[in-house]
Amino acid sequence: MKIENAVAIVTGGSEGIGLGIARALIAKGASVTITGRRESVLSAAADQIGADWIVADVGVEADAVRTVDEVVSKRGRLDLLVNNAGMGRFAPLVDMTMEDFEAVYRTNVYGAFLMGRQAARQFVLQDGGHLVNISSTSGLSGGKTGTAYSSSKFALRGMTECWRAELRPHNVRVMLVNPSEVMTPFFSKVGSVQQVSERKLRPSEIADAVVGALEIDDRGFIPEFSVFATNPF
């Protein structure tokens, strides 16, 4: 993919991995629109990196449709969707509430589906495009208290494989990225304290990996990869 002058959407782009990916794409010359639910945070992040922004909840069908349609209307096409928006709720199975379980799936699964579907419709019309789903190593191996989050990432992996099979004949490359622990605001949002370490991954490592994978000539692509810290302890 030639990132220079490409038109991209990065969901959940106001902080963390999404912001890192958006920044890296802009540095390569892409036109990037970031999305999020908090207007003040989103607009400040967009101003910081030189991105467009759209307030939207990926888990709301009308918002997903509007996001893609606005970008295509403004830019004339869409070359890349990075499905990064995600959330977590962690509790033992016996304590997990239906409300929390549904909230995680609303963003991590339904949101990815809604954005992916709308982007895919445009990609098919164009006969080409790139779709990157940001998952987690939690989607490769479950663990304690991960009923909602881990299973949502397993679901995302399954959807990715389905989309890849469907969209390859339309010259669409669908990739899955599985970061291990990254230093982001994610942990504080789920009520956990993250141990800060200079050895742990930063959003920039994930962004560099995504950019590197995208820059392969379009005759080939990397279907899935994981990113681990070398020695985080």
- Euclidean distance between CA atoms 139 and 127, whole angstroms: 30
The helix/strand/coil state of 230 is coil
Rg (the chain; Cα; Å): 17
CA distance 79 to 122: 9
User: Choosing from 53, 149, 163, 186, which is the catalytic residue?
Assistant: 149
**What six digits make up the tokens of 232?**
């985080």
Q: 21 CB contacts (<8 Å, ≥6 apart)?
A: 10, 13, 82, 84, 134, 203, 206, 207, 210, 211
Q: Residues 50, 175, 232, 194: is their CA dihedral positive or negative?
A: positive
Q: Which amino acid is at 143?
A: G
What count of other Cβ atoms lies within 10 Å of the Cβ of residue 159? 19
Active site residue 149: yes
**Residue numbers annotated as active site:** 149
